[in-house]
Amino acid sequence: MSFAWAKQYEPKNDFTKWIDEKLPLPRLVYNAVGAGYPVPRNLNYMWNFGVLAGFCLMIQIITGVILAMHYAANAEVAFATTEHIMRNVNSGWLMRYAHANGASFFFIVIYLHIFRGFYYSSYKAPREMIWLLGVVIFLLMMATAFMGYVLPWGQMSFWGAKVITGLFGAIPLVGESLQTWLLGGFAPDNAALNRFFSLHFLLPFVIAGVVILHIWALHIPGSSNPTGIEVKKESDTVPFHPYYTAKDGFGLGIFLLAFTFMVFFLPNTLGHPDNYIEANPLSTPALIVPEWYFLPFYAILRAFTSDLTIPFTGIILVPAKLLGVIAMFGSILIWFILPWLDKSPVRSGHYRPMFKKFFWFGLIPCMALLTYCGGAPAEEPYVLLSQIATAYYFLHFLVILPIVSQIEVPKPLPYSITESVLGSDDTAPENSASSDAKGAGEAGSLQPAE
C-alpha cells in the first residue's frame, strides 16, 4: 500500500525517464522493495524469513535447473545419473548437496515464517488474503518437495512414493483407480518417475507465481509488526530501502553461513542413508520415513490406528487409513479458516497472556512431539504419544483458539508503533499508554463485521 507519505519514484535522467514511460519496471521495484515502500519501524528478526524464503526459492530453481541438465528421469538410469552428477559433473556434488539441503532450509525458513504468523496473528484482517496465499504456497512446496525426493530413485524415494500415493487409495470407491491413474501403473515406475520429474520442474514456477500474488496482497495493507497495531503516521514507518534491505542483508548472511556449513560439512545429515541404495521394489526398508519436514504430518496420518466402527456391531463407517488421510490433509487445510477462528481484536501474542501460554507450552511442544513420533517406528510408546499430540493439535486450532480469543483479557497496547519503539509519542493523547480499552478497541475496529 502506499501510505500518503510514501516516497515517489522520480526518474533521474533521460534514459530512466524513457524506461519509466515505456515499462515502469524500476518504479515497480522502487515501490515494492525500495524506498517507496514504507514499513513499520519495529519489525524484529522474525520478519526476515519472507525475504529468505524468496531467496531459498531462487537457490532451488537455479540449482534445480542445472541438475536437470545432467539428470535423466528414467527408472533404469535415474540413480546412476544422480551419481554421475555427484562424481563426474564439474561441481555437480555442490549443486546436488545445495539442492537437497536447500529444500531442508527452505522448510526451516517457511516453518519459522508460518509460526511467526501464528504468534503475531499475521493472518488477521486485513491480511487474510496474504495468509491464504501463503498456505497455498506451502501446499505447493510440499507437493514439489515430495516429488523431488522421488527423483534420485533410491530406496526411500521409491517407498516414500508408494506410501504417499497409497494415501489416495484410501478414498472410497475411486481410490484404487485414482492411485493407478496418478502413478500411471500399479506401482511407482518409469511412468510415475517421468511425471514427477515434469511436475517437479513445473511447480516451482507456479510457486513463484503465487509468491508474486502473496507479495502483491502484502502491499495492499502493508506489513504487520510485532505490536500488532496498525501504522498511524509517518514516524511509525521507515522506507524499506535502506532500512530493511540492510537488515535483511544481515539476516541473509546468517542464513547463508548456516546453509553453507551444512552443505560443505554435513551434507547428508538431514537425509536418510537408505536413499543411497538404489530403488528395489522387492526389498522393503525396515522403516519407511519421509524427509524430516513432513514428519509432523506423517505422525498425524499414523495416529489413527482403528477403524471408526459402530460400537458392538462391527460395521465400519470410516476405515482407519481414510481417517488418517483426512486428518493429515485437514491439519493443513484448517489453516485456511484460521483468520476467522481467532476473533481476538489484539494481534500480537505479546499482549495476549493466555494465547501466549498455549502457543509456547501447547503448540510448540506438540509440533516437536509430532516431529519426533513421525520419525519413530509405529509402536508403543510412540503411537500413544503421537495420538496425544495429534489430539492437542486439532484442539489448539479448532477449540482452544476460538475460546481463548473470546474469554482472554489482553494486556494494554501502546498507543502507536512510535511509542513502542521510543517509549513515548508526542502526538499521543494524555494517559494513552495505560488505556487498554482504547488500544484494543482501536485494533478491534479492523475486524470484519459479523
Partner 1 sequence: MSIRLGAIIAGLGIVGILFFWSLLPGAINYAPAEKPDYYAFKEKPVAPEGGFSFEGPFGKWDNAQLQRGYQVYKEVCAACHGLKFVAFRNLSELGYSEAEVQAEAANWIVPGIDPNTGEATTRPGKPTDQFPSPFANDVAAAAANNNAIPPDLSLMTKARKDGTNYVYSLLAGYGEPDPEIAASVSEFETPTGLYFNKYFANVNIAMAPPIAADGQVTYADGTEATVDQMSADVAAFLTWTAEPTLVKRKQTGWPVLGFLLFATILAYLSKKQIWAGLKPKKK
Give me 146's grid cell: 515430495
Among 13, 306, 431, 434, binds partner 1 (CB under 8 A): 306
Shortest Å, Cβ 179 to partner 1: 24
- The helix/strand/coil state of 310 is strand
Give the strand pairing for 38-40 and 308-310: unpaired
* CA 52 – CA 47 distance, rounded (Å): 10
Report, in Å, the least distance between residue 106 CB and partner 1: 18
Check residue 263 for interaction with partner 1 (CB under 8 A).
Answer: yes
Residues 170 and 178: their CA atoms lie apart, in Å, by 10
CB 338 within 8 A of CB 123: yes
Looking at residues 380 to 409 of the shown chain, list those that interact with partner 1 (rule: CB under 8 A): 380-381, 383-384, 387-388, 390-391, 394-395, 397-399, 402-403
Whether 357 is catalytic = no
Among 273, 365, 441, 448, binds partner 1 (CB under 8 A): 273
CB neighbour burial string for 150-173, b if at least 16 within 10 angstroms, e if fewer: bbbbbbbbbbbbbebbbbbbbbee
291 is catalytic: yes
| Angle formed at CA 299 by CA 297 and CA 304, multiple of 5 degrees | 110
Name the β-bridge partners of 238. 39
Q: Helix count (H) and strand count (E) of the chain?
A: 19, 4
Q: Which of residues 4-63 bind partner 1 (CB under 8 A)?
A: 41
Contacting range for partner 1; rule: CB under 8 A; set: 101-109, 289-297, 303-311, 433-441: 303-311
Active site residue 247: yes
Q: Which stretch binds partner 1 (CB under 8 A): 100-108, 194-202, 415-423, 429-437?
A: 415-423
Residue 223 bears catalytic tag: yes
d(CA 123, CA 350): 16
Backbone angles phi, psi at 379, to 5 degrees: -145, 165
Coil, strand, or helix at residue 447?
Answer: coil
Q: Does residue 279 contact residue 158 with C-beta atoms inside 8 Å?
A: yes
Per CB under 8 A, does 323 bind partner 1? yes
Of 12-20, 157-165, 203-211, 379-387, which part binds partner 1 (CB under 8 A)? 379-387
Segment near partner 1 (CB under 8 A), from 59-67, 169-177, 335-343, 441-449?
335-343
Q: Any idea which residues carry the catalytic annotation?
A: 219, 223, 247-248, 291
Q: For binding to partner 1 (CB under 8 A), which residues are involved?
A: 41, 80, 83, 86-87, 93-94, 97, 238, 242-243, 246-247, 249-250, 252-254, 256-257, 260-261, 263-265, 267-268, 273-274, 276-277, 286, 303-309, 320, 323, 327, 330, 334, 337, 340-341, 343, 377, 379-381, 383-384, 387-388, 390-391, 394-395, 397-399, 402-403, 421-423, 450
